[in-house]
């Protein structure tokens, strides 16, 4: 494999893969937040 093909493959699949994986993690975090809802701040609780 030539260096150019290798570099472009790493750019497209590497950057794309990183972006896609982190996007997947944001979806998982949203699911976690739905499952375990955010609690009100202590100050708000006192009110």
Partner 1 sequence: MSDAILSALGALFEGARFMFTHGGPNLIMIAVACVMFWLAIAKGVEPLLLLPIGFGCLLVNLPLSEVMQADGVLKTLYDIGIGNELFPLLIFVGIGSMTDFSPLLANPRLLLFGAAGQLGIFITLLLALALGFSKEAAVSIAAIGACDGPTVIYVSNMFAGMNRIPTAMVGALAVAAYSYMALVPVIQPPIMRLLTTRKEREVKMPSPKGKVSKAALIAFPIVVTVITGIVAPKGLPLMGMIMLGNFMKVTGVVPRLASAAENEIANISTLFLGLAIGGTMAGQQFLTRETLMVFGLGLVAITIDTAGGILLGKLWYLLSGGKVNPLVGAAGISAYPMAARLVQSEGQRWNKNNYLLMHAMAANTGGQIGSVMAAAIMLSLLKGLGII
Using CB under 8 A as the criterion, which residues of the chain lie in contact with partner 1 when the complex forms?
Answer: 1, 3-4, 6-11, 13-15, 17-19, 21-26, 28-30, 32-33, 35-42, 44
Instruction: Give the angle 41-45-46 at the CA atoms, nearest 5°.
Output: 120
Kindly state the smallest distance separating residue 34's Cβ from partner 1, in Å.
10
CB of 46 to partner 1, least distance (A): 14
Buried b (16+ CB within 10 A) or exposed e, 9-28: eeeeeeeeeeeeeeeeeeee
Q: Considering beta carbons, is residue 39 or 46 the nearer one to partner 1?
A: 39
């Amino acid at each position: 494999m030539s260096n150019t093909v290798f570099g472009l493959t790493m750019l497209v699949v590497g950057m794309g893969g990183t972006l896609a994986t982190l996007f997947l993690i944001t979806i998982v975090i949203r699911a976690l937040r739905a499952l375990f809802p955010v609690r009100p701040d202590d100050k708000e609780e006192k009110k």
